[in-house]
């Protein structure tokens, strides 16, 4: 691998540095491509009313222990909590938990995996 066109690394340390930089650059390029793809999806997202769970939906579910959880399905989301008290969990529609919910309507139930445990949830509302 060459640096600055004509320079060839002279020793192993320099070659290792150049190789590491190449791996880092490739990883960053891949991450940028993923973010750009998510931006395209976000721009085409319909945030209007809906009756089924899908990308752009705000979903309220009730777990077996009668605790409510609110999910906001957004392309590129990574399980971040939204709001000052962390009451809304932003999930990617491609995440395992969201995939379990996609297509469901209010009143439907399904099994989701949470923290390594399977839990039955019931969809209370979809907005």
**Rounded Cα gap, residues 5 and 82, in angstroms:** 47
**Rounded Cα gap, residues 16 and 9, in angstroms:** 9
Q: How many other C-beta atoms can be found within 10 angstroms of the C-beta atom of residue 119?
A: 17
Q: Is residue 51 part of a domain?
A: no
The pLDDT of residue 106 is 94
- CATH number of the domain encompassing residue 104: 3.10.50.30
The pLDDT of residue 1 is 46
Q: Is residue 76 part of a domain?
A: yes
One digit per residue, pLDDT tens: the chain, 127 residues? 445 556 666 676 676 666 777 778 888 888 888 878 777 877 777 777 788 998 889 999 998 888 899 999 988 888 888 876 768 998 988 888 999 999 999 999 999 987 788 989 999 999 8
pTM equals: 0.68
Q: Which domain, by its residues, includes 107?
A: 58-126
CA 43, distance to chain mean position in Å, is 16
Rounded to a whole number of angstroms, the CA Rg of the chain reads 21
Give, in order, the Cα–Cα distances in Å from 9 to each of 19, 20, 23: 10, 13, 16
Q: Is residue 50 part of a domain?
A: no
Q: Is residue 2 part of a domain?
A: yes
């Amino acid at each position: 691998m060459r640096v600055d066109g004509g320079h060839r690394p002279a020793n192993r340390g320099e070659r290792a540095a150049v190789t590491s930089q190449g791996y880092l650059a490739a990883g960053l390029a891949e991450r940028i491509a993923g973010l750009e793809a998510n931006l395209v999806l976000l721009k085409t997202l319909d945030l209007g009313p809906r009756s089924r769970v899908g990308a752009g939906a705000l979903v309220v579910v009730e777990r077996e222990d009668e605790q409510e959880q609110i999910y906001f399905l957004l392309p590129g989301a990574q399980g971040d909590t939204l709001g000052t008290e962390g009451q809304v969990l932003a999930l990617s529609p491609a995440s395992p938990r969201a995939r379990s919910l996609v297509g469901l309507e209010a009143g439907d139930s399904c099994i989701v995996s949470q923290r390594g445990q399977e839990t039955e949830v019931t969809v209370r509302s979809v907005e």
